DNA sequence: TTGACATGACGAAAGAATTCGCTACATTGA
DNA sequence: TCAATGTAGCGAATTCTTTCGTCATGTCAA
């Protein structure tokens, strides 16, 4: 009686992935320090290392064992992970309608003129590509 | 030593919420049957009732106890819940950039001409509203 | 009325996520 | 060299999520 292993990275795993995406690679100690500073975590170094080992098992991170303090890297790109999570959210909460999500994101956020122009341009391109 | 209670509804909770959002209200038995049919769950009635009781404790659903088979309703609207989850995803996976999410959603989904037109119109309105 | 069946409350069980303590090993500076 | 420090592995503890079995109660037809 249990729940199937979740497909999406968990909250803490994402915090670590964010760090790795930004810096490219990092040692356990660096990750731990950044978690404490940026995310204001108050967990021990031991916990960070354990999380990394779990993520290694799950295939979320890769590890360079030749480097003296081992260096961890994200196994999947941020874009790839984002796409997966986005699709999942659309399925789970938006009844499969990506457009409904887009509209809500647009309406509930203040965008700069530049951003809006960029989006409009993209929409126009997509429109042009259609028969 | 554990994890703090998650703020977002879980997978199964969302499946139930989706049903309630669509139908407005439903009895435990109706919810159970729909979970089986629509979501292809193979869990027992007992499990469904338990989930509802957990969700009641969390404040995710409300219950009309005067009705003979009690009627459950979602405590928060779908829009409200979507907005919360969307904001959360943007924070967690998109470094806080809603526009980056919008662009990715646009580029990775096939939209109909009507949907694109609707979005373009919305963007133009937002642009017009800016000085 | 009473037996058959449904409802829902409760607790237990089991897996998943998260945490930490302890230990073994490597590195480094005096 | 060797003591001090850092790195990483392992297991255990704890909480959350999800599941089911069981029981008390309610409903309804014969």
- Predicted local distance difference test score (pLDDT) of residue B3: 67
- Per residue of chain A (131 residues), give pLDDT as tens: 656 777 799 999 999 999 999 999 999 999 999 999 999 999 999 999 999 999 999 999 999 988 889 999 999 999 999 999 999 999 999 999 999 999 999 988 888 899 999 999 999 999 886 55
Q: According to the model, what pLDDT value does residue A29 have? A: 95
Burial class (CB in 10 A: 0-12, 13-18, 19+), A10: middle
Strands A26-27 and A71-74: antiparallel
- For residue B73, count other CB atoms closer than 10 A to its CB: 14
B69 CA: nearest nucleotide by C1':
C7
Residues in chain A: 131
Nearest 5 degrees, angle CA B30-CA B36-CA B38?
A: 90
d(CA A20, CA A14): 10
For A128, name the nearest residue in chain B, comparing CA atoms only. B113
Task: Determine the Cα–Cα distance for residues B111 and A127; give it in Å rounded to an integer.
Answer: 9
CA distance A120 to A55: 39
Give the contacts of A71 (CB within 8 A, at least 6 positions apart): A25, A26, A27, A63, A64
Closest nucleotide to the alpha carbon of A29, via C1': D7
A2 Cβ within 7 A of any nucleic strand C atom: yes
**pTM summary value:** 0.90
Q: Which residues of A touch B19 (CB under 8 A)?
A: none
Cβ–Cβ pairs < 8 A, chains A and B: 120
Chain A residues within an 8 Å CB radius of B127? 113, 116-117, 120
A23 touches strand C (CB under 7 A): no
Rounded Cα–Cα distance for residues B36 and B29 (Å)? 11
Distance (Å, whole) CA A8 – CA B70: 34
Which neighbouring-strand residues pair with B63? B72
pLDDT for A14-28, tens place per residue? Answer: 999 999 999 999 999
Decide: CB of A4 under 7 A of nucleic strand C.
yes
CA distance B120 to B117: 5
Distance B68 CA to C3 C1' (A): 22
Task: Pick out the nucleotide with least CA–C1' distance to A5.
Answer: C16
pLDDT digits (tens, 9 = 90+) for B2-38: 666 677 899 999 999 999 999 999 999 999 999 999 9
Q: Residue B130 pLDDT more than 70?
A: no
């Amino acid at each position: 009686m249990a729940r199937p292993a979740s497909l999406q990275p968990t909250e803490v795993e994402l915090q670590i992935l964010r760090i790795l995406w930004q810096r490219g690679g990092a040692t356990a100690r660096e990750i731990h320090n950044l978690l404490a500073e940026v995310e204001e975590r108050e967990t021990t170094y031991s916990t960070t290392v354990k999380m990394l080992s779990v993520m290694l098992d799950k295939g979320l991170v890769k590890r360079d064992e030749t480097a003296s303090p081992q260096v961890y890297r994200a196994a999947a790109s941020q874009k790839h992970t984002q796409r997966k999570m986005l699709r999942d959210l659309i399925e789970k909460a938006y009844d499969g309608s990506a457009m409904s999500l887009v509209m809500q994101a647009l309406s509930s956020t203040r965008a700069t003129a530049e951003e809006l122009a960029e989006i409009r341009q993209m929409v126009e391109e997509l429109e042009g590509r259609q028969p």
